[in-house]
Amino acid sequence: MTIEKLYSRKVMNHFLHPKNMGQIKNPSGVGRVGNPVCGDVMELSLKIKPAKDINQSKITDVKFKTFGCGAAIASSSMMTEIVKGKTVSEAIKITNNAVTEALGGLPPVKRHCSVLAKEALVKAIDNWKQKSIHSTSSGHSML
């Protein structure tokens, strides 16, 4: 079976020309996840503009670094495209299935890559929330 039959055109595009690859300087939150079974490791960093209602805070920038297979890189790239500009409450509702669908599908043995992308997003948002709680409890406003 050829690679073109395994992966959609969107997967190949996000693998060969990933969007938002890199790191954010002074990120609001960072999420790192890894899968020891296949060796994929993802890091997602967020820049979030705070709002009075923490859930309405907006993701203004997002970047990723992924060490792994083409599906892992494509899933990370697509996740960044989906969440950029969303509020935290909108972003947290994005499922791994939404990433898979946006990519035009993934082979069953590669669907865990979209799960890793979701887990990295959740960890990055959780990291930002922890920083926010710590900052506001120490008297520094996040706004």
- Residues classed as catalytic: 38, 113
Closest CA to 70 of 28, 128, 30, 17: 17
Decide if 100 contacts 106 (C-beta within 8 A): yes
Order of strands, sheet of 58-67, starting from the edge strand that comes earlier in the sequence = 29-34, 41-49, 58-67
Structure tokens at 69: 């297979």
Distances, alpha carbon 126 to alpha carbons 29, 31, 46, 54, 137, in Å: 8, 8, 11, 12, 16
Around Cβ 55, how many Cβ atoms within 10 Å? Answer: 12
